[in-house]
Structures are given as structure tokens and as C-alpha cells.
Structure 1
Amino acid sequence: MSERVQILKDKFNSSLGLPFKELLLTSVIEQALDELNIKYYRRLFDPIVTLWAFLSQVLDTDKSCHNTVSKIIAYLAGLGVEIPSTDTSAYCQAQSRLPETLLQKLFRQSGQSLEEKVTTEYLWCDRNVKVIDGSTISMPDTAENQKAYPQPSSQKPGCGFPIAKIGVIFSLATGAAMALCIDVMNIHDIKLARQLYQFLNPLDILLGDRAFCAYADLVAIKKLECDAVFRKHQARKTSMRQGKIVGDCDKLVTWYKPQKCPKGQLATHRIQRQ
């Protein structure tokens, strides 16, 4: 998967103009703009061109605005229309005008569109495997970002960047992200995960690391008619003398409901009872 992604990135980087216009069609973006009732002026840097340019900029090795504007110029030159100045201010202003709701809508549509094309040969036992994971991202050091996503307390003011924690569910078959949530850095991965379970479909199998292995969450996922495969948390002891051997490297054990719900799982426990 990683090799194919790198090949695609290299192809995009070597392309002239805006290669995303072949993947994210004008008609798709225009439909999303109409559905969201987003009005815009017909100009060189309209939301469509700006979005193509921004996506290319994110993937490009050279992420400078100057490099991105040069790609926009190459694209417009091929259309035979007015060529903008090489100054980057117009593009930067257009980028700041991109509505977040538009990005969110196209994000969901792109993942769903790929999911609909998956055939049974890419499924596991005719079931779709979704992978869940968490990570952190840094962002520009602005007052708004610092307020919403404070930098680590270990860093002195003015010496760090705002950092957020993100949780993502992506399809193992397509590699596309299906759902995403964002919160402050010190939130635990499992709390982000509980915001993402709603995006699972019946019969999905959720695959994750040991951070997501909790009794309450396995029950919550099971109630969605899904199954989960998580590595056992290192703090949870399991006796190898108990359980039933079902294969050379497999053992079936029973995980009984805890007598007392851990504090971190109270919210999930209340939801289940409701």
C-alpha cells in the first residue's frame, strides 16, 4: 500500500498543472457547492481551482505557495485564459476562503465513492475491514489555534505550536479515510474512537491497536452489529492456563463484564444503558 501511495505522489509531483482535476471532477465540486448553498464569484481563483491547487500543495514535496501558483499558471495556460501574476497573495486569500464544510463534504463523498467500488475479492470473508487509529497534528501558531488546541505544557509560550489529536477510521480495502474527528492533544485515543463508531456499517470489522481494547467499547461495537479485533492491552493480565485451544496459535478465552465500570468508560456505559 505504501509503495503504491508513493508512486501516486511521485506521479502527481511530476505532473504539470493541477492533476487533481482528473480525480475530483468539476461537476462533483459544483454539486457540493450547490447542496451547501455556497455562493462564490467567478474568478481565476474560484473554489474549484483553489481546491485542486491546495490538494496538490499538500502532496507536493515543495509545499511553497510559489510552487503552487506556478502549477495554477500552467493549468490556466492550457485553457488559454488570462494568466495571473506570480504573486502568491491572491492564492493565499482564496485558500483562506475555502469553506470547511465543503472540505468535509467532499472528504466523506470521496471515501464513500471508493467504498462503493470495492468488490468481494478485496473483502475479508465477505466483510469490510475498517482500521481505526489516532495521531497528532501541528498547526500555525495563531491565537485562535492556541485557544482551541493548546500547545504542550512542557513547551514555553512562544516556543511551540498548537497540537491537536485526531482519530481516523479508514478502509483497509481502499486505503481511504472514511471518518475523522479532532480534539485537544491530551485526550485519549479511545475517547476519540467513541465519536467514530457511528460511522461503522453493520458487519464491519474494526481493527485497532491495544489503545482501543476496552470491555465497554467491544460491547458498544457489537451492538452496532459489528465485530472488533484489538490487541490486548498490556495492563490486562490473562492466564494462559485458562481458555480453550482452538488452533496452533489460537486460544479462546472469556472476558467477563467488570464488576465496576472504570471512570473513563462511564459515558459509554450510560449510552449503552439508554
Structure 2
Amino acid sequence: MDTSAYCQARSRLPEKLLEKLFGQVAQRLEEKVTTEYLWCGRNVKVIDGSTVSMPDTVENQKAYPQPKSQKPGCGFPIAKIGVIFSLATGAAVALVIDVLNTHDIKLARKLYQFLNPLDILLGDRAFCAYADMVSIKNLECDAVFRKHQARTTSMRKGKIVGDCDKLVTWYKPKKCPQGLSELEFAALPPTLVVREIYYYIIIPGFRTERVSLITTLLDTTTYSALEIVGLYGKRWDVELDLRHLKTTLGMDVLRCKTPSMVRKEIYVYLLAYNLLRSLMWSAGTTYGTPPLRLSLQGTRHHLNNFIPELLAATSKQRHLIYRTLLKVPNRPARSEARVRKRRPKAYPLMTKPRNELRKQLQTA
């Protein structure tokens, strides 16, 4: 079957159009969120970074080079992506694409423009920096990050406001951090008051781990320490959202052979993902089930099975079809080890380009 016509039509789709469609679907879904789905009356966004692989072509290698640790011809081009997800809907609301060696915090600074006033940004320790906390506050937003490992914890400093809860004054760095211009660094305030909440993870047989959270939510009455600790526990949801994108939908290994088509492919994946989240939201809110308890994979399978019926059905019949969406039990504080059950094939890794390997086979 000749697919050239399909490929030519696909290449004519403007990248900006796909980016706009992805953003519009996310925005319309966010507009449906009611107060009951908010955290302490605030909308929470979760930020994280990941990578995607693509075919080994000259164009892709030039735009998104493979890791420097791999020999030429033995690796694949890899792009770094930064994504902001909505904690309430699970939808991806913002995306940025860059090269592999881009630090997560550099991606984050390109994503702050997509935050709305009063949003709360939730992230891991990679995003916990002085300049970024200031930038988020300047946008009339707040942040909840895990404390960066480079910052030492002192029990004696700070104003105690509760059990394992204190207000701490941070001071502007003495040197301009990488990624900031001299003007941006000069505009930073000399001090910043943040709230530090710490707790302990105790697992029998393992060393007790202390976790410190840094937040700009200073009101201890509205935002209790227990509520904030519980909120950070939901940060794991972003890992599940990325897994849905990369594993469930198959975005982990892209198929397009040029950088522009690679970016289009990523936007189409996120567009499809958001459309599934929109369907889950519609089904859940219509039938009194929390939308995030529905299965994204089950929604996808049912949608594929019922597309012919949906096209031919009336509006009333579509509501009956929504009832078939798979529902899964709630699993709070879920944590899974990053291991693989299926064993890989016992072939050695590719350490030389294929043309050299062919020559070795011919001379052997």
C-alpha cells in the first residue's frame, strides 16, 4: 500500500496549528474544573521533564544530538521535553522541546508563561532554586518543591510555626546562576521568605529518610503542613501521566525522520492524550465518578471499539456509550519500582557503526 499521499498531506500540516490545537483542548478542559476538584481552592499544576527517542537520521542528529557517551552511528537522537500537567484533570497544559543536555530548570523557565494567577506549581528538587521561586511569586503563583540537595538543612535557623514547620529567610546568591542574565540577576530581591516543612519516611529494614519541602505558601491556617505533605505525595501522578504518554500511547520512540515532523508528532501525541482526558472528564462528571479513577487505557480501547457507533449515534445514545468506560479503584500514594519484568534479548550492545560491523562479518 502506497502511503506517499498520506505522508505528503501530513507534512503540510503547520506545526503552529497542532501546537494551537493541543493548547486549546487543554484550556477548554481546564475551564470545566469546578471548586470541588481544586486543592484548598487553588489549581495545582505539576511540572517534570523527560526524553523521547527518534530515528537516526542526519537531520534529527543535527537538531537533537545523541548522548555524547555513545559512539557515532551507535545511538539515536534524543529530545528533552518539559511538560506541565493539571493535577485536577491529568491533562498536559504546556510543552517545551529542547536538546538532551538541557537542564530541567531551563525548560521550566520557558514554561512559567503558561501559568495562570493563583496556580500552585508542584515539582521535585530539580526546580527548587531562588530565582525560580521569585519568578513564580512575581506571576502571582505559588510553588511547592522538594528542597534541593545542595542546600544544607539547619534545625536552628528559621521561625518555628508548627511541628516540623518553620519560616526561613533565603538570601540572594552571591554569583549569577547559569541561565540568568546579569539584568535578571540584578532584579532579584535580596531576600525571600519561604516555608520549610520536613517529615520522615520510615520503612522497616531501610534507613529512615528525611524529606524537606520548600513552599511559598506561608499561611499556616489555610495551608496546613499536613495538607502540603499530602499534596506533594500526589507529585507521583506526573510520573504516571508521562508513562501514559510514552508507554500507553507509544510516544517513547518516535517515527518521524525530520525535526519538524518530530515536533509535530509530539504535539499530536499530546493532543490525543488530552482528548482522552477530556472524554474521561465528561464521563466521570456525568456519572458521578472521579475522572482520575477512570482508566486511560480502558478509555482508549473503548473509544476505538465504539468509534463507528459514536459516529452514527445521536446525542442521547452517546451518553449510554460513555457508561462502558472502564473504572479502576483509587490508589493513593502509589509507588512502583522502576524495573522491567520482560527480559531483554541476550544480544550485545551496538558499539560500532553498522558498516564496520558488516566488514567484520565479511572478513570473519
Q: Same fold (TM over 0.5)?
A: yes
Corresponding residue to 1:139 among 54, 58, 61: 54
List runs of 5+ in structure 2 lacking aligned partners. Answer: 189-364
Asked if the contact 1:181–1:192 (Cα under 8 Å) also holds between the matched residues in 2, the reply is yes
Distance 1:249 1:264 in 2: 33
Corresponding residue number in structure 1 for 2:148:
233
Corresponding residue number in structure 1 for 2:336:
none
The residue identity in structure 1 corresponding to 2:131 is: A
> Secondary structure of the residue that 2:36 maps to in structure 1?
helix
Distance 1:235 1:140, change over 3 A: same
Corresponding residue number in structure 1 for 2:162:
247
User: 1:129-208 maps to which residues of 2 (within 5 A)?
Assistant: 129-208=44-123
Count residues in correspondence. 188
Higher relative contact order (CA 8 A, sep 6+): 2
Distance 1:108 1:268, change over 3 A: farther
Distance 1:212 1:196, change over 3 A: same
Asked if the contact 1:111–1:178 (Cα under 8 Å) also holds between the matched residues in 2, the reply is yes
Asked if the contact 2:176–2:182 (Cα under 8 Å) also holds between the matched residues in 1, the reply is no
Corresponding residue to 2:33 among 114, 118, 128: 118
Distance 1:147 1:271 in 2: 35
Corresponding residue number in structure 2 for 1:217:
132
Distance 1:272 1:178 in 2: 29
Distance 1:267 1:104, change over 3 A: farther
1:91 to partner: Cα distance: 3.5
1:90 to partner: Cα distance: 4.0
Distance 1:95 1:259 in 2: 51
Distance 1:187 1:170 in 2: 20
Distance 1:233 1:262 in 2: 15
Distance 1:259 1:155, change over 3 A: closer
Distance 1:98 1:211 in 2: 35
Distance 1:130 1:234, change over 3 A: same
User: 1:254-269 maps to which residues of 2 (within 5 A)?
Assistant: 254-266=169-181, 269=184
1:103 to partner: Cα distance: 1.2
Cα deviations by residue, 1:43-72 (Å, 9 ceiling, x for unpaired): xxxxxxxxxxxxxxxxxxxxxxxxxxxxxx
1:104 matched to 2:19? The reply is yes
Distance 2:80 2:186 in 1: 23
1:270 to partner: Cα distance: 4.7
Corresponding residue number in structure 1 for 2:356:
none
TM-score of the superposed pair, with normalisation by structure 2: 0.48
1:258 to partner: Cα distance: 2.3
Distance 1:153 1:112 in 2: 38
Asked if the contact 1:131–1:206 (Cα under 8 Å) also holds between the matched residues in 2, the reply is yes
Distance 1:153 1:260, change over 3 A: closer
> Secondary structure of the residue that 1:263 maps to in structure 2?
coil
Distance 2:63 2:51 in 1: 14
Share of identical aligned residues, percent? Answer: 82
Cα deviations by residue, 1:27-53 (Å, 9 ceiling, x for unpaired): xxxxxxxxxxxxxxxxxxxxxxxxxxx
- Give RMSD over aligned pairs: 2.0
Distance 1:119 1:271 in 2: 40
Distance 2:4 2:35 in 1: 48
The residue identity in structure 2 corresponding to 1:251 is: K
Cα deviations by residue, 1:154-182 (Å, 9 ceiling, x for unpaired): 11222111111111112111111111111
Distance 1:271 1:169 in 2: 28
Distance 1:271 1:193 in 2: 20
User: 1:74-89 maps to which residues of 2 (within 5 A)?
Assistant: 87-89=2-4
